[in-house]
Amino acid sequence: MEAVRKKALVTGASRGIGRAIAEMFATQKYDLYLTCHKNSSQLEALGQSLQQQYGINCYCYTFPIADENNVAEMFRNIPYLDVLVNNAGISYRGLLTDMTYREWQEVIDTNLNACFLTCRYAIPEMVRRRQGKIINISSVWGTVGASMEVAYSASKGGVNTFTRALAKELGPSCIQVNAIACGVIDTDMNKCLDREDIGQLIREIPLDRLGRAEEVAELVRLLCTGNEYLTGQIITLDGGWT
């Protein structure tokens, strides 16, 4: 009889950190639920590739992750989750006074409110089973803040506090909640920076390079397989930068 595979949901999985996390879970033989906002063809291609290569089941969804109706519909197809990874995120670079309220709302919705929605629907079954891990992908800007990225910093600061508070709420149910505060990771989100800006950043990082998406995925793996006493933590992964 085939063993029941673990199940993980990864939001924002079509590229970058989310894609690397999905690939990591596939190597660990998890069945996967993957979301993205717009890159449906890219996500579907990833899902098919992971199914063929690792013999897992992979279900792909394309919708704005802060849309409750779509989130609720997706969870009707998810019997339970062993791991929820809230990775979907967007940034806005520019002066706060140049930002529209709609742009502000979009950042907060995608980076913070979506964490509420996915957790809201994942938690009941985790509590019933008395097991589960929630991992939120955050940023060092959520701790120290960044000029020209006020909305992004505020949203990630919210994610950090959300993580700490939810960990306390769910600890009695044996559910661990942690966040990874990433530094500068070499993904498309940072492609808008020119070579000079990237060079300046690298000079400020003690390890003298950008982080890799695969390194974030490896830390997610450790959080899923390691210490059962670790919860409510914001783990910084930034090469010693901040």
pTM for the model stands at 0.96
35 found inside a domain: yes
Coil vs helix vs strand at 123: helix
Mean pLDDT of 106-126: 98
CA-to-CA distance for 82 and 34, rounded, in angstroms? 14
Residues 170 and 177 sit within 8 Å (Cβ to Cβ):
yes
1 within domain boundaries: no
Give per-residue pLDDT as tens, 28-70: 999 999 999 999 999 999 999 999 999 999 999 999 999 999 9
229 three-state secondary structure: coil
In a domain, 242, yes or no: no
Amino acid at 241: W
Q: Is residue 18 part of a domain?
A: yes
Q: Which of 136, 130, 131 is nearest to 166 (CA)?
A: 136
Is 65 domain-assigned? yes
- pLDDT band for 1, please (50, 70, 90 cuts): very low
Domain membership of residue 216 (yes or no) is yes
Amino acid at position 189, single letter: M
> Does any domain span residue 132?
yes
Using the predicted structure, report yes or no on whether residue 174 has a pLDDT greater than 80: yes
Q: 52, 57, 76, 74: which is closest to 65 by C-alpha?
A: 74
pLDDT 10s digits, 138-160: 999 999 999 999 999 999 999 99
User: How many domains does the chain divide into?
Assistant: 1
CATH of the domain at 211: 3.40.50.720
2 part of a folded domain: no
Under 8 Å between Cβ of 213 and 187: yes
Handedness of CA 58, 63, 66, 67 (dihedral sign): negative
On whether the CB atoms of residues 88 and 62 are closer than 8 A, the answer is no
Average pLDDT, integer, range 169-196: 91
Active site amino acids:
152
Q: What is the pLDDT of residue 55?
A: 97
Q: Which domain holds residue 123?
A: 7-237
Distance CA 73, CA 90 (A): 23
pLDDT at residue 2 above 60? no
Q: Which two tokens stand for residue 101?
A: 């309220």
